[in-house]
Chain A
């Protein structure tokens, strides 16, 4: 047991496991049902993964600094409600408004966490509750269908460019920008530093508080973008639209190989993780696993992935 955990803790092994797993899964599915690797099904897979990936990318930023964001599903749902509610009256302007709401609540989560010094899982549990309540209130507790008039501004999201679904392209853009931000900006390096060792980052003069707030702001914004895309795809917004996405999103980040303790990981790993989760989901439907039982698998996968990737030397007392 000890040796096994040592093996998993080796850097390159941890980095290599997710891609190998992904290739393995694709191979299994391809053998099980030949034709999976054709353009059409791949396009479908990418389209289905897009929303999950965007959500997971947002959480990646927060997990990298050593926190967690449990409010993403609420923020995404709120964005979908705002979009569906405002599209008829202000047209395409509803997009920036909905995404702006995500940004604001992201910053709010960050401020609650940093300034009031509330642990992030409680802070975001609370802001998630605040946001969910507001979404319920705006929508008066029901789902809002985007009417014919409003759909004019959402049809482009459901289209495809040269066979690649637009949502997949959007996800790719989000992914590339996030990758750049993490790798080539000061904020990116600071987040890794904060996640790797907060006292050290503090001693080195990193503005830890600002870095954390920005991470939460990004998480909120990306959650709102995911919610908007989801609403456009389903042509409706609802206060519980994204409720089922919290666990898969966090699982995607962890399965991709980003450590829950922070400082290790990145957007590319999350992309692999999101694809793994997507393929597992498709595979389960294919084998005939009941759709309700999927959460059981994801919950178990999450626990196993956390147990493998966590850096125990960083937490003296495991609470």
Chain B
């Protein structure tokens, strides 16, 4: 999407001839790339409606409100569920919530970086199932004689990271949009893992890896601590590394970032690699929790991850939001799922609710002034 700097007089795709000067767009823009940045008049639907909209939703106060809206939603949700069913607030249930948030949180950490760039990674389920497949096939299992212990974990995460890097390379070298590149990789990963598993479920019998899900430290399963570590790592990456700042810069406006000397291709490939790394950790956790790997271990994970990131307030256009938002988003999704179970609502409706949440969150958070053409 074009950068904000072009504002009202933004160019479309630049495919039709335009007069050099246009009334209503008095400023000649400094064009960096004249192919794509010809000034256009009010052809675009920048109307009074948009201006009013902007005043209401972009004012200083509203901006702050929008930043904290996910947090408010989370608190309100917790209060409402507690009123409906006090069991929710019990320590046992809260631990359950934390436990079921572990995998989605780790996944969503990776997804956050991709969405911050304004891209999308649809290969979540492929990467996760590949990591889980590599793990169970290399660790002690009931299908072959391998017993590599924790090396299997390293291999699983490496495999998933490699898939992420592949995503980035395909996207930047072949120059195709990320949703297409990752759609392909999604099914390649899924096909590969189901093929290697022979279409059946293979049990994970390595006790030390299983302990990730079974053993507890300070009352919380180890998986929760791993997810917390992943969260802290993501915070460090976003706020304390050059990579994190470059990702935000690319999401905010890729042309500007490029002119400022950001190596777009390298940052993109690295970011997809980082995402793959997080998906790999999530795959290990998922396999440890399930005690096996099968064809459906990753079902619905993509959906949960995207919902969490978007509901947390990270804009799909990129450049806005971050890891902290995603933590809140993951908690909203998990608490809602837990609450629906407590209230006796059919678990089948969950996906429906998550879908509606994506639509609502995206519709509320999109910065419409920056979005002229939506594809």
- Chain A positions within 8 Å of B, measured between CB atoms, are 66-68, 112-114, 116-123, 125-134, 136-137, 140-141, 196-200, 202-203, 247, 250, 260, 262, 290, 292-300, 302-303, 306-307, 310, 312-319
Residues of B within 8 A of A128 (CB): 355
Q: How far is the CA of A199 from the CA of B350 in the complex (A)?
A: 39
Is B281 an interface residue, CB under 8 A from the partner? no
Q: Can you add 12 more A-B contacts, CB < 8 Å, to A121-B120, A129-B358, A141-B348?
A: A127-B355, A130-B356, A198-B12, A199-B43, A202-B44, A296-B192, A297-B191, A299-B183, A303-B180, A306-B176, A313-B35, A319-B178
Contact status of A123 and B359, CB under 8 A, knowing A117-B374, A203-B43: yes
Is B16 an interface residue, CB under 8 A from the partner? yes
Q: How far is the CA of A294 from the CA of B158 in the complex (A)?
A: 24
Are B356 and A118 in contact (CB-based, < 8 A)? no
Are B43 and A319 in contact (CB-based, < 8 A)? no
CB-CB contacts below 8 Å: B1-46 with A: 1-2, 12-13, 15-16, 33, 35-36, 40, 43-45
Q: How far is the CA of A66 from the CA of B373 in the complex (A)?
A: 11
Q: Provide the main secondary structure of the chain B interface.
A: helix
Contact status of A292 and B195, CB under 8 A, knowing A130-B356, A141-B348, A198-B373: yes
Assign chain B's interface to a size class.
Answer: 35 or more
Nearest A residue to B254 via CB reads: A317
Among A121, A141, A297, A298: residue with most chain B CB under 10 A:
A121
Q: How far is the CA of A131 from the CA of B358 in the complex (A)?
A: 13
Inter-chain contact total with CB atoms closer than 8 Å: 196
Residues of A within 8 A of B255 (CB): 316-317
Q: How far is the CA of A298 from the CA of B189 in the complex (A)?
A: 11
Q: Provide the main secondary structure of the chain A interface.
A: helix
Are A133 and B355 in contact (CB-based, < 8 A)? yes
A183 to chain B, nearest CB (A): 22
Q: How far is the CA of A220 from the CA of B103 in the complex (A)?
A: 33
Is B174 an interface residue, CB under 8 A from the partner? yes
Is B111 an interface residue, CB under 8 A from the partner? no
Nearest B residue to A302 via CB reads: B184
Is B135 an interface residue, CB under 8 A from the partner? no
Residues of A within 8 A of B354 (CB): 129, 133
Are A298 and B15 in contact (CB-based, < 8 A)? no
Are B356 and A66 in contact (CB-based, < 8 A)? no
Residues of B within 8 A of A203 (CB): 16, 43
Residues of A within 8 A of B374 (CB): 113-114, 117-120
Is B375 an interface residue, CB under 8 A from the partner? yes
Q: How far is the CA of A234 from the CA of B255 in the complex (A)?
A: 52
Q: How far is the CA of A141 from the CA of B348 in the complex (A)?
A: 7
Nearest B residue to A108 via CB reads: B359
Is B306 an interface residue, CB under 8 A from the partner? yes
Q: Which of the 9-residue segments B77-85, B239-247, B286-294, B362-370 touches chain A?
A: B362-370
Task: List the 3 shortest-distance A-B pairs measured between CB atoms, nearest first.
Answer: A199-B12, A295-B191, A133-B352
Q: How far is the CA of A198 from the CA of B372 in the complex (A)?
A: 10
Partner of A197, one of B12, B33, B195, B348: B12
Contact status of A129 and B175, CB under 8 A, knowing A116-B359, A260-B180, A299-B184: no
Q: How far is the CA of A125 from the CA of B174 in the complex (A)?
A: 24
A29 to chain B, nearest CB (A): 22
Partner of B13, one of A299, A303, A314: A314
Residues of B within 8 A of A250 (CB): 183
B68 to chain A, nearest CB (A): 22
Contact status of A315 and B33, CB under 8 A, knowing A133-B350, A296-B187: no
Are B119 and A319 in contact (CB-based, < 8 A)? yes
Is B229 an interface residue, CB under 8 A from the partner? no
Is B171 an interface residue, CB under 8 A from the partner? yes
17 A-B residue pairs with CB within 8 Å: A112-B363, A118-B374, A119-B316, A126-B362, A129-B354, A133-B353, A202-B44, A260-B180, A292-B195, A292-B198, A293-B195, A294-B191, A295-B191, A299-B188, A303-B181, A303-B185, A317-B254
B123 to chain A, nearest CB (A): 9
Contact status of A199 and B359, CB under 8 A, knowing A129-B351, A292-B199, A319-B118: no
